Amino acid sequence: MTSQTPVDALSVRGLTVTIQQESQHLRVVDGISFNLRSGEVLALVGESGCGKTKTAEAIMGLVPRDSGVVQATSIRIGDTELAVMPEAAMRQIRGREISMIFQEPLTALDPVFSIGSQMSSVFRRHRKQSRTQARQSSLEMLASVGFPDTARVMRSYPHELSGGMRQRVMIGMAMACKPRVIIADEPTTALDVTTQAQVLARLTDLGRKTGTSILLITHDLGIVAQYCDRALVMSKGKIVEEAEVKQLFTRPAHPYTRSLLAAAAGIND
Ligand SMILES: Nc1ncnc2c1ncn2[C@@H]1O[C@H](COP(=O)(O)OP(=O)(O)O)[C@@H](O)[C@H]1O
Ligand SMILES: [Mg+2]
């Protein structure tokens, strides 16, 4: 490597998640390695149950203790090694260096606090802003994720917003600390197609503008084609193919990728 080579935003080596089920150990993530380059949108694509969410939770340090054991040779954000990091230090990294956007934003938003208060608290806690500054930052962030009436959104409670609006709020909160990496786990699966497109466009535009790298988890090859630069194809806990998106669609190398493409095109053979 030369000195001009930019450090990857996220580098994962030998990541394994083992789940204890009855008397069996299931390797739901099985020794995967990949790099998320600076500024790119990287898809992690594969069928339901192949281990995508467990991969995301493992990187975030969010696999519940009783639901799986995480092992990794290395998980690095830039030069920071997360694989050996104690939970107290991980809490500082989450939100500041790496944020996650979940499939269902209602579970991530607190129903009893207004959007403004939840968003401001991110700026106050992580960016050490005053109440007034945090309010101003929140208004600006809401505008950048496409809300024209930011003051009204600030006063709203989560249940008063549509699914697409809530997901845009979550993008704003995830972006609040200008993290190096965002992991978005099927962020638009619960939304209708038009809203899906708006939310994904906001997310990927904002990522490209701010230099935040995005790992976009999806089972939808249409989303991969439209919004991602490269893709990792996952099957049964392993990464079976890694390719530029153009190449993935024109010259899929792995039989599993070809079957995914065929299934998406409605070909039964
Ligand atoms: N808490 C759990 N207990 C037992 N098995 C689980 C648990 N969570 C996930 N799994 C299993 O682990 C595998 C990977 O799950 P997941 O990462 O959620 O897949 P994906 O996000 O790709 O749909 C699946 O086969 C799932 O059934
Ligand atoms: Mg999942």
Rounded average pLDDT over 63-91: 92
Look at residue 265 in the predicted model and tell me its pLDDT.
80
What's the 44 CA to ligand 2 centre distance in angstroms? 11
Q: Domain-by-domain residue ranges, the chain?
A: 10-104+183-264
Q: What is the pLDDT of residues 120-163, one digit of tens each?
A: 999 998 889 999 999 999 999 999 998 999 999 999 999 999 99
Among 20, 28, 52, say which to mutate for ligand 1: greatest number of ligand atoms within 8 Å of CB: 28
Q: Which residues contact 106 (CB under 8 A, 6 or more apart)?
A: 158, 159, 166
Output the six-digit token pair for 145.
């994720």
Q: Whose CA is nearest to atom 2 of ligand 1?
A: 67
Look at residue 4 in the predicted model and tell me its pLDDT.
55
Rounded average pLDDT over 61-81: 92
Atom of ligand 1 nearest to the CA of 50: 22
Q: Which CATH architecture has domain 10-104+183-264?
A: 3-Layer(aba) Sandwich (3.40)
How far are the Cα atoms of 26, 130, 183, 203, 240 from residue 30, in angstroms, in the given order? Answer: 9, 45, 19, 29, 11
Q: Whose CA is nearest to atom 24 of ligand 1?
A: 49
Rounded average pLDDT over 206-217: 95
Rounded average pLDDT over 250-256: 93
What's the 184 CA to ligand 2 centre distance in angstroms? 10
Output the six-digit token pair for 122.
């991110």
CB-ligand 1 contact for 218 (6 Å cutoff): no
Residue among 124, 102, 79, 242 at smallest CA distance from 182: 102
Q: What is the pLDDT of residues 225-234, one digit of tens each?
A: 999 999 999 9
pTM: 0.92
Q: Which residues contact 95 (CB under 8 A, 6 or more apart)?
A: 122, 125, 126, 176, 177, 179
